């Protein structure tokens, strides 16, 4: 009987490699989003750097904050898609099922955390304003949600670090 598509060990390794490449791209884009965020500017000011937002190079970099979010979102989707191609839903009997579940759950937590973070970003107000006209910092409920924006970065950082560590434990930096 003919088989239309059979997953070989080489295909699984290639899917894993592509997922890792997208993971590093996603990490780089997350850093671009963070370093162009106002939270990063406040961290620089607390570190003693006076008026970092007045630097011409930083202003030019910061101007594209919204685009970094879009590229980050596309990269996250590609990373999730390739990771899912590699692991599928881990099944009993798979020797790597435990670590795959750990990586997938931490990754899902990162995706959810990114969504929460994006929803508190000032650019989300612009995007959501047509659908939710009263969404602004003058809205008391949203303002109380928005004020924790910097703390949501910590949640994302912890989830990304744990996701990265679990991935490293599983394959190192590059599967063989």
How does pLDDT run across 21-68, given as a tens digit for each residue? Answer: 999 999 999 999 999 988 888 888 888 888 888 888 888 998 999 999
What secondary structure letter does DSSP report for 109?
A: H
Asked if the structure places residue 16 within a domain, the reply is yes
Asked if the structure places residue 104 within a domain, the reply is yes
Question: Is 159 within 8 Å of 112 (Cβ atoms)?
Answer: no
Asked if the structure places residue 4 within a domain, the reply is no
pTM for the whole structure: 0.82
The range of the structural domain enclosing residue 152 comes to 9-87+99-171
What is the C-alpha separation between 19 and 85, in angstroms, rounded?
9
* pLDDT, greater one: 48 or 2: 48
* pLDDT, greater one: 112 or 119: 112
């Amino acid at each position: 009987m003919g088989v239309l598509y059979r997953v070989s060990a080489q295909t699984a390794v290639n899917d894993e490699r592509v997922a890792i490449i997208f993971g590093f791209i996603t990490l780089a884009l997350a850093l671009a989003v963070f370093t162009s965020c106002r939270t990063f500017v406040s961290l620089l000011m607390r570190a003693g750097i006076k008026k970092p937002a007045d630097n011409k190079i930083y202003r030019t970099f910061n101007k594209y904050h919204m685009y970094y979010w879009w590229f980050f979102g596309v990269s996250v989707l590609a990373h999730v898609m390739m990771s899912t191609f590699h692991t599928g839903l881990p099944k009993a009997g798979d020797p790597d099922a435990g670590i795959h579940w750990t990586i997938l759950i931490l990754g899902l937590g990162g995706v959810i955390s990114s969504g929460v973070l994006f929803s508190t970003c000032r650019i989300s107000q612009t995007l959501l304003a047509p659908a939710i006209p009263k969404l602004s910092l003058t809205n008391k409920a949203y303002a109380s949600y928005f004020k924790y924006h910097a703390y949501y970065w910590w949640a994302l950082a912890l989830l990304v670090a744990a996701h990265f560590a679990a991935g490293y434990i599983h394959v190192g930096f590059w599967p063989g």
